[in-house]
Chains A and B, each alone.
Chain A
């Protein structure tokens, strides 16, 4: 997984940083989905525990 995009310098030498890698896009979407799923599960479990103790 690349974090950044690079281009070859017209003057030669090492590659130049040109920006973030767009391959990360799916990982940021996955992070959002993971946060939502974890919170939803935690909420469901804790609310069941609260209702169960009544």
Chain B
């Protein structure tokens, strides 16, 4: 190694590392607004705050469904789809972390790529719940009048509608749990770098060096 190269590798790396593009941050915050509107219009009337909720709920639901579709296409074609998939290294690291929390010894867990195993698990869970609400919600649109069609409740049998409504309700209630957990992690001081990156797009080079495996996430300079 040359002297200049050694100096470079030893020096504290300045600068920022890009974590989220502007389009992805806009998508995230539009999704957040959509989820909050959908939850408010779904659950406030149930707990006693009565208002005309249906119009705002279904129009927001249609916009939300379009956002989900855009996200799926973007994730598959333009983003690193596999960066969000749980792999063998995540499972190994998770096992090592659990062993350590329980007081065991053994090798230390390795550092994650862009997302750690629990973040990927959370994403998988919320993907299932969101897809369940979107698919059942779009089906339920058939039962209401919209500018494009008149309601037709006879497309499905009564018990099929019952199952559709049950899945929509259960998934929506489970999303409350998931949103609570998401907000909790976003507010934790030790996760603040990730929350900041969802506002400003970057983490510092030191945060990248300290929390991520460069082999698993080759980040861009911000």
Interface, chain A (partner B; CB < 8 A): 4, 9, 16-20, 22, 24-25, 28-29, 31-33, 35-36, 39, 42-43, 46
Contact = CB atoms under 8 A, between A and B. Distances in A.
B47 A25 contact: yes
A28 B176 contact: yes
Interface in B50-104: 100-101
A25 B159 contact: no
A22 B184 contact: no
B165 A19 contact: yes
A19 B166 contact: yes
B201 interface: no
Nearest to B103: A49
A38 to B, nearest CB: 11
- For chain B, which range describes its interface: under 10, 10 to 19, 20 to 34, or 35 or more residues? 20 to 34
A43 to B, nearest CB: 8
B180 A4 contact: no
A28 B173 contact: yes
* Interface SS, B side: helix
A20 B184 contact: no
Nearest to A46: B101
B189 to A, nearest CB: 11
Contacts of A18: 161-162, 165
Interface string B170-196: 100110111111001000001000000
Contacts of B46: 22, 25
A16 B147 CA distance: 30
Interface string B113-151: 000000000000000000000000000000000000000
B158 interface: yes
A22 B174 contact: no
Nearest to B171: A20
Interface string B2-23: 0000000000000000000000
B181 A35 contact: yes
Given A17-B159, A19-B165, A32-B176, 8 more contacts: A20-B170, A24-B173, A32-B178, A35-B181, A35-B184, A36-B180, A42-B101, A46-B101
Contacts of B176: 25, 28-29, 32
15 contacts: A18-B162, A19-B162, A22-B169, A24-B173, A28-B173, A28-B174, A29-B177, A29-B180, A32-B177, A32-B178, A32-B179, A32-B181, A35-B177, A35-B184, A46-B100
Contacts of B161: 18
B184 A4 contact: no
B27 interface: no
Q: Which of A16, A17, A29, A39 has its CB near the most chain B CB atoms (within 10 A)?
A: A17
